[in-house]
Amino acid sequence: MIRIAIQAKGRLNEESVALLAEAGIRIEDSKRKLLALAADFPLEVLYLRDDDIPQAVAMGVADLGIVGLNEVEEKGEAVDVVHRLGFGKCRLSLAVPKAENYDSPAWFDGKRVATSYPKILRAFFEKSGIRAEIHEIAGSVEIAPSVGMADGIFDIVSSGGTLVTNGLKEVEKVFFSEAVLVANRALSEEKRQILSQLLFRFEAVERSRGMKYMLMNLPQDKVAEAVEILPGMKSPTVLPLAQEGWCSVHVVVNERDLWNKIEQLKAIGAEDILVLALEKMIW
């Protein structure tokens, strides 16, 4: 059995639960519980605040954790980042009031900056040779300039809408974050084997994202041209049809290339093209 800590609520909670479900791991409905057991995998879920997850994993309270890379960096706990998960992407940025004439990070020299991430910000200022007064506050960082608490802020930015609402503009992108899987550094061999199984499933899910399964009927003498258009994972699968001179071609393609490939295939005689959703890709 292995224990994984995930965020108790919010976007990372929803996306973490969705990833586990796509990996075939069903979790009991446990909005009022601290712990939940998986129905068909040796795993239990511990629900925590996101900023408590790195410490919980470092202490061994949880074996694994899904948390933003920004929290891992800020807390500085002794955990291993074993996999980047590709969701929950955001950045930590400096922002100032819209009316300010900002030209470089030197603007912050001697200024007061409000943030919930003082460690990351301090490292950036030290690297840039900036002496600023850092005020650590929890929550509602974006209102600090308007109430006179700070000259600027350092906070999480996703779309930037919250900054605009509060009369701020993003001026420096300092740290890029996403959800990561972290692990305790003293996992037993048994737990490392379970972790390997979990990573195998996660990677199968991730490979399928943005991919489509396409099959079509094609004249036999056009197979070589089709292979040039559709290299596939290794090469397209070609199967003979009952109708002489025709075959069925099966291939996995990236969704962003789909329509371009379809047009090229139709131009060489492909017919009856079907495009299907792809759930998992196992290598």
- Domains of the chain and CATH, by start: 2-87+178-207 (3.40.190.10), 90-177 (3.40.190.10), 210-277 (3.30.70.120)
pLDDT, tens digit, 9 for 90 and up, residues 204-262: 998 888 888 999 999 999 998 898 888 655 678 889 998 999 999 998 888 888 899 99
The dihedral region occupied by 10, where left means phi > 0, alpha psi between -120 and 50, and beta the remainder, is: left
The predicted model scores a pTM of 0.82
Query: CA-to-CA distance for 127 and 113, rounded, in angstroms?
Result: 16
Residue 90 — φ and ψ, nearest 5°? -160, -175
Write out the two tokens for 179. Answer: 């959800």
User: d(Cα 281, Cα 23) in Å, to the nearest integer?
Assistant: 11
- Angle (nearest 5°) at CA 82 between 175 and 207: 90
- Where do we find the tokens 């020299």? 109
CA separation for the pair 4, 43 (Å, rounded):
7
Q: What is the rounded CA–CA span in Å between residue 143 and residue 12?
A: 24
Mean pLDDT over 43-56 rounds to 94
Mean pLDDT of the 74-98 span: 95
SS3 track for 229-240: HCCCCCCCEEEE
For residues 155 and 93, is the Cβ–Cβ distance under 8 A?
A: yes
The model's pLDDT over 110-167, given as tens digits with 9 standing for 90+, comes to 999 999 999 999 999 999 999 999 999 987 898 889 888 899 999 999 877 889 888 9
Could you identify the residue written with the tokens 């990677």?
203
> How many CB atoms neighbour CB 137 within 10 A?
16
Please report the sign of the dihedral spanned by the C-alpha atoms of residue 247, residue 252, residue 255, residue 256.
negative
Tokens of 169: 């503009």
For residue 157, the cross-strand partners are 91
Q: Which amino acid is at 39?
A: A
